[in-house]
Amino acid sequence: MIILGLDPSLSCTGWGVVRVEGSRISHVANGQVKTDPKAPIAARLSHLVTALDAVLAEHRPDRAAAEEIFLNKNPQSTLKLAQARGAVLAACGGAGLDVREHAARLVKKAVVGTGGADKQQVQAMLKILLPGTAVTGPDAADALAVAIADAHLGGR
């Protein structure tokens, strides 16, 4: 089974692909899709979809997993996150993928063992779970964590 983990954001969406064989999880690929903050929102969302379409075509995952949306104190930030998340889900839907959603605390608990883990703890655990993996950045690390958590959580 190949799982695509996603960490949606308008500025930088992280993605990570893992292969699951029984209880063994191995790294396939990871990356980040950055958008131009000066570009119109429609162009930024289109760029996200196009870039993710390429990832989907190259890695052909069996399913995808994304972090559930959280509310920011700033309504504009929440709206931008929701729009980016919509573009990410649309790309997956266009590829016919089932997308499972997991709360950030649940992802951290599945990967690190505690829902209150910080980014450094998650990244340190990724080095243990996926030894030798070159992670392209923090958003890609978060996406890999989502994919790993989805593998552990299964249908939850």
66-80, 95-109, 113-127, 128-142: least confidently modelled range: 66-80
Tell me: is residue 101 an annotated ligand-binding position.
no
Tens of pLDDT along 51-98? Answer: 999 999 999 999 999 988 766 677 888 888 889 999 999 999 999 998
Could you list the residue range(s) of the whole structural domain that residue 81 is in?
Answer: 2-153
DSSP letters spanning 65-121:
EEEPP---SSHHHHHHHHHHHHHHHHHHHHTT--EEEE-HHHHHHHHTS-TT--HHH
Indicate which CATH number applies to the domain containing 33.
3.30.420.10
List 67, 98, 101, 142, catalytic entry: 67
Q: What was the pLDDT predicted at 80?
A: 87
Entry pTM? 0.93
Residue 7 known to be catalytic? yes
Tell me: is residue 7 an annotated ligand-binding position.
yes
Tell me: is residue 67 an annotated ligand-binding position.
yes
Q: What's the structural domain count of the chain?
A: 1
Tens of pLDDT along 15-38? Answer: 999 999 988 999 999 999 999 999
List 21, 139, 142, 150, catalytic entry: 139
Alpha-carbon distances of 22 from 5, 131, 152, rounded to whole Å: 18, 18, 11
